[in-house]
Amino acid sequence: MALVDNIESSFNHLLSNYNAEHYYLAVSGGCDSMVMLSLFQKQKRPFTVLHVNYHLRGEESDGDEAIVRQFCEDHSIPFYVLSHELSKDLEDGGNLQSLARDVRYDFFKSYLSKHESAILCLAHHQDDQEETFWMAMARGGGIRAMSGMKTFEKPFLRPFLKHRKIEILNYARVQNIKWREDLSNQSNKYTRNIWRNVLLPELKAKFTHISSSVELLQDHFDEQADHDRKVSRLLIPSTFQDFEITKEELSRLHSNQWIEFLDQMNIRKNLALPIIDLLNGENGKKIFLDSMGKGYKAVWKRENSLYFEIKTQTPSLPPVFNTFMIDSLPNKFSKTELYLDLNKIKGNLSVRRWQYGDRMCPIGLKGSKLVADILKDDKAHASDKSKHWVLVDEEKIISLIGYRIDQRALANKAPCLKLVFE
């Protein structure tokens, strides 16, 4: 019973440190999430269960949904499922696991947004954390990437992050908790599964203490990443405004702190070196940051400093557009002008706020992408994300206005419809 007491006491102790208006549990039907659900069911806290059925494994996928649904019905737990045929998304190309994650987290966020203070509980454990370390190192990730997941990273709570998979499995067996095995976890066509099923077992067999070493390294990297974040934050004004940073101040930042500095200002990491190079350029030289959404419009060289200029606020009123029929296409294009094939437009055009779950097929990208991730990639300011507009017909998004244009309605020859935003 020591195992049961250990799992339950650590779970209860961890949860006692967090008070939320409401809790959401991401439950797949696998062992880890079913144990988390079972433990949470004993808590006197308001919670809801969320499940995603991708319909990738036929009856197996429906079986996963059924076991979660039955548990919730037996215990009168609110249960919501997203039924999403992921295979249709894959018709346009893309990475299966990445697309699945996009769909899953967009679904979760749509519920989290219903409460000012809500927590999403995820059943990641120490083995997942270890896999994340090796995958980040293999990709050449920095300190922050190799530090792995955090137990609490608002709004995400991972109550099993300090427990091994074997502990959770044994607890489930002792407590007679039912779960489903996802056979796709045995397939080595996915990178994580190669680490899980092939590489890590070999490493652990030859180097018995390697897991402990990884855990120590991750703790150290986590502390270092937190320190870097705090140091870089000191240079950023508390209010969103234009500001200047001197060469002397920048010289105190090592590379990781500089990356953190840019990240907190919603500026892409690939601009780190070009921005530093500005200091060696002529006064007045600048880098435009127009593609970054609300945040910083440009960075300027001023004597021995860099001057960061903010973008204007996203307008609260919907953008207005005018349309023209034209006989020839221009040599250059802009994000405020669209050239559309009338035969590819279904019904009327209209403008609305983007919504969680919206997808589009941006020019230059094979396949579709969530609008939420486009905004994230372009560093749209977190507080302003919900205010962006999309141009739509009756079937699809035509443009994320000011950011991306969808290729599915794009004209490749004249005559065509020219649409200009005011």
The hierarchical CATH code for the domain 236-310 is 3.30.465
Q: What is the pLDDT of residues 115-150, one digit of tens each?
A: 878 999 999 999 999 998 998 888 877 788 888 899
| Per-residue tokens: 241 | 């405004």
| Range(s) of the chain covered by CATH 3.50.40.10 | 321-421
CA distance 221 to 141: 12
What b/e sequence results for 385-410 when a residue is b if at least 16 CB atoms lie within 10 Å of its CB, and e otherwise? beebbbbbbeebbbbbbbbbbbebbb
| Range(s) of the chain covered by CATH 3.40.50.620 | 2-216
| Per-residue tokens: 135 | 């995958």
| Cβ pair 32, 123 in contact under 8 A | yes
Q: What is the pLDDT of residues 309-366, one digit of tens each?
A: 876 555 567 788 888 888 888 877 776 788 999 889 998 888 988 887 788 998 888 7
CA distance 200 to 418: 56
Give the pLDDT of residue 313: 52
CA distance 129 to 136: 11
Helix (H, G, I), strand (E, B) or coil at 152: strand
C-alpha distance from residue 391 to each of 16, 75, 317, 361, 378 (Å): 46, 44, 14, 13, 18
Length of the chain: 422
How crowded is residue 296: how many other Cβ atoms within 10 Å of its Cβ?
A: 24
- Average of pLDDT values for 379-385? 52
Helices (H) and strands (E) in the chain, counts: 15, 19
What b/e sequence results for 82-97 when a residue is b if at least 16 CB atoms lie within 10 Å of its CB, and e otherwise? bebebeebbeeebebe
CA distance 278 to 371: 32
CA distance 370 to 358: 6
% of the chain at pLDDT higher than 70 = 93
- Average of pLDDT values for 394-419? 88
Say which residues have a Cβ less than 8 Å from residue 160's Cβ, sequence separation at least 6. Answer: 11, 32, 35, 36, 123, 124, 125, 126, 168
Tokens 């996203």 belong to which residue? 314
pTM of the model: 0.66
| Per-residue tokens: 364 | 């230059």
Residue 353 is which amino acid? Answer: R
Residue of 356, 388, 391, 360 whose CA lies nearest to 372? 356
Pick the CATH number of 2-216 from 3.90.550.10, 3.10.620.30, 3.20.20.70, 3.40.50.620: 3.40.50.620
| Range(s) of the chain covered by CATH 3.30.465 | 236-310
CA distance 86 to 94: 11
Strand ranges across the sheet with 286-288: 243-246, 305-310, 296-302, 286-288
Pick the CATH number of 321-421 from 3.50.40.10, 3.40.50.150, 3.90.1170.50, 3.40.50.300: 3.50.40.10
Tokens 């983007």 belong to which residue? 354
Q: What is the pLDDT of residues 14-70, one digit of tens each?
A: 988 888 889 999 999 999 999 999 999 998 889 999 999 998 888 999 999 999 999
Give the pLDDT of residue 292: 44
Residue of 287, 281, 282, 279 whose CA lies nearest to 306? 279
Give the pLDDT of residue 293: 42
Give the pLDDT of residue 373: 81
